[in-house]
Amino acid sequence: MTPENIAIDKQFVLRQDVLVDQIGDECVVFDPTTKMVFTVNQTGAMIINKLRQPQLIATLVEYLASCSSASRDVILRDCEAFLAILLDKGLATCVE
């Protein structure tokens, strides 16, 4: 999935079985289905933690904007790109 295909009015959620742990400055994400391990930066960790409950992209953007000096347009593009990666790896799903 590409960021352009992500609908802003849909909710997304992290798969319930995905494990997330903070180790030092890194956030480690473990997919028990594929046994793959991923590391994400602080912003990625913030998004992943919010995605434990279904979230609209607009809600994620507002949350990140309250923690950052970046413009909402930049945050939106980054959120869409990160969410596209999570969806492609099967770590998150769209809530219907």
- For the stretch 40-56, pLDDT in tens is 999 999 999 999 999 99
The count of structural domains within the chain is 1
Query: Rounded mean pLDDT of 14-22?
Result: 95
Domain-located, residue 40: yes
For residues 69 and 25, which has the higher predicted lDDT (pLDDT)? 69
Residue type, 18: V
pLDDT above 70: residue 83: yes
DSSP state of 19: E
Confidence of residue 25 (pLDDT cuts 50, 70, 90): confident
pLDDT of residue 78: 93
Domain-located, residue 95: no
Domain-located, residue 94: no
CA–CA dist 8, 33 (Å, integer): 28
Domain-located, residue 96: no
Q: Which of 14-18, 19-23, 66-70 has the highest mean pLDDT?
A: 14-18
Domain-located, residue 45: yes
Domain-located, residue 24: yes
Query: Rounded mean pLDDT of 4-27?
Result: 87
pLDDT of residue 5: 64
What is the domain extent for residue 62?
A: 3-89
30 burial (CB, 10 Å; 0-12 / 13-18 / 19+) is: middle
Output the domain CATH number for residue 46.
3.90.930
